Structure 1
């Protein structure tokens, strides 16, 4: 890797190459008023290798000579060029800020305890390494993240199942729906037909039932998936739907009621529960008027879901609770070891 070309790239960001008699390193300095940044490029591709203690010593000297008059500074960043990432791993744990560049794969490695960016130079460095087009990748990620693919597929699956059932018979015929996967406590618990807990979440009794559920799912599911991510959203949707079906079937079975049920409502209420948690945890995402409108919409859906006498309240309540609990668990922050 051409270290001088990398130095030139930092020069384009306003960094000056400070003269030094230490072989294998370049000290780059940028200052404006009380603000200052120092990057040290270390070539560790050949012996003798510079270790963490030597970098600590250089860091202390630079802080004294270059940063004393600039109290607004993020400290010194070392950019370590290496042909052995394993050899340098301990350096990232030595108390200094360091980015590691694998010269073979041209890969930038930033560990969890290290700064994600420094002097806005990360994008430049990644572009310089050339192993990916960062701006293009970020744009593609943004476009991909904006398409709620899982929710689109879920809506499509519900509609396709409805059409197939209508072709085969009538979705308003209870006996027909029972024969095609609807939930019924006696069949589930006495007949061990537990698959109905899943299949029942994709069948709807009539067009109105389907349309009302799908409109709600589109309105709330798209936003939930964009915030949660596709995998977490799918887990919450399926788990809430199956769990709601289980609670509902068990409730009516214990009560001795002969209730045949189906629909995506339990899963949808799980998504509503997820949004309630997200609204509380992500106030920046739901700000101002939009936040109020969204809360009012959710409350309206909840009201309609619980006050309609034909609605399966047990399934809705179970889905809501499951959605809240699962979202809380899945959005808890955990410290990772490496980015």
Structure 2
């Protein structure tokens, strides 16, 4: 209910309505030379007609005592859906100043005995509120993406599974398990496996920071392909390094795929003369270099996977810019 109430109040304020009492968050009004218009916004939950009548009469009495103009009052009750309960139906039957707004479809219901309009608010409430809400949802998608939260959830679920069901070493890249036992699924599962909460949180923070940006530019389908392809490239590179150099017993983490996303952004920034929205090419390259330096100075950080994922992301970014005009267009937005 909260999201629609906020939108309705916002639209009322744009039309000149003001909160009548700071202690009453749901009563708004405006006055012109001939009349005073009062709008009461609330929920139909456990609300009966007598309670609403008494509340309306109190408001009318308070406002009428301060003004000689005609006072008009409308109740907007927000309901979960269009399946109205008996108490709500009785309210509509006994009062002649009630509109019902449903949360499921963001739809305004006006019954035959109710005013078809009130201070020209019908279009404001019925259409603009839905448009504003859809715009708000679009902004959330633009900020967080659609695929990125799913990837975030997958990484968290795998981490939880590694606490209660598996050991991380059962899903990570491990030379003998792959070369001798044929457990090739580890190339994929290792992309979602982390050794400890710090490992998980560090990668997820960067995924949140970069993921939606890439998703909005290259599209959801391409984003999934790039994420998996660069992650698999990083896993395979790590396997080769471990096979020949015996670098690590196990390798896992989302960082290879994440650096693949960084590689895509670097290509797009280069194409856009050094920027992708609020990210600069220099800052992204500095991030990459600092990560490699940190990996060189620390134990347990697989720089081979980082470099391989980044390089695969560079290739993916170039291919997308050369073959997909939509990506070219979005990269300039």
TM-score w.r.t. the length of structure 1 is: 0.50
Q: Who is 1:187 aligned against?
A: 177
Gaps spanning 5+ residues in structure 2: where? Answer: 1-132, 327-333
Q: Does 1:178 align with 2:175?
A: no
Q: Which of residues 234, 237, 241 is equivalent to 1:244?
A: 234
Residue 151 of structure 2 corresponds to: 154
Q: Give yes or no for the alignment of 1:332 onto 2:329.
A: no
Quote the Cα distance in structure 1 between the aligned partners of 2:189 and 2:301.
19
Following superposition, the deviation at residue 252 of structure 1 comes to 0.9
Aligned to 1:318: 308
- Residue in structure 2 matching 1:164, options 161, 166, 176: 161
Q: 1:231 aligns with which of 218, 221, 231?
A: 221
- Residue in 2 that maps onto 1:124: none
| C-alpha deviation, 1:299, in angstroms | 4.5
CA deviations on 1:164-211 (whole Å, 9 max, x unpaired) are 221336xxxxxx3223x1110111122211110000111100111001
Q: CA RMSD in A?
A: 3.2
Deviation, 1:305, is 4.4
Give the secondary-structure state (helix, strand or coil) at the position aligned to 1:309. Answer: coil
Is 1:202 the counterpart of 2:192? The answer is yes
Structure 1 residue 309: Cα displacement: 3.2
Of residues 209, 217, 242, the one that matches 1:219 is 209
Distance in 2 (CA, whole Å) between partners of 1:143 and 1:212 is 23
What residue in structure 2 maps to residue 118 of structure 1?
none
CA gap of 1:300–1:255, structure 2 versus 1, over 3 A, is closer
SS in structure 1 at match of 2:161: helix
1:188-245 per-residue CA deviation (whole Å, 9 max, x = no partner) reads: 1222111100001111001110011111111111222122221212111111111111
Query: How far is 1:294 from its partner?
Result: 5.0
Q: Is the contact between residue 306 and residue 316 of structure 1 (CA under 8 Å) also seen in structure 2?
A: no
User: Residues 137, 328 of structure 1: CA spacing in aligned structure 2 closer, same or farther, 3 A cutoff?
Assistant: farther
Contact 1:145 1:229 in 2 (8 A): no
Using the alignment, how far apart are the partners of 2:137 and 2:197 within structure 1? 37
Is the 8 Å Cα contact of residues 237 and 267 (structure 1) preserved in structure 2?
yes
Which residue in 2 is equivalent to 1:23? none
Contact 2:227 2:258 in 1 (8 A): yes
- Alignment CA distance shift 1:274-1:308 (3 Å): farther
Checking the alignment, whether the CA contact within 8 Å between 2:230 and 2:309 is kept in structure 1 is yes
Deviation track 1:116-159 (CA, whole Å, cap 9, x = no partner) reads xxxxxxxxxxxxxxxxxxxx999987775555111111011101
Cα gap change, 1:298/1:315 in structure 2, threshold over 3 Å: closer, same or farther? closer
Any conservation in 1 of the 2:260–2:314 contact (CA below 8 Å)?
yes
- Comparing 286-295 with 189-198, greater Cα deviation is found at 286-295
TM-score under structure 2 length normalisation: 0.51
Give the number of the structure whose residues are more often helix, by fraction. 2
- Aligned to 1:269, the other structure's residue is in SS state helix
C-alpha change, 1:247 and 1:225, in structure 2 (3 Å) is same
* Structure 1 unmatched runs, 5+: 1-135, 170-175
Q: Which of the numbers 249, 261, 280 marks the counterpart of 2:270?
A: 280
Q: Does the 8 A contact of 2:266 with 2:284 survive in 1? A: no
* C-alpha distance in 1 between matches for 2:212 and 2:251: 26
* SS of match in other structure, 1:251: helix
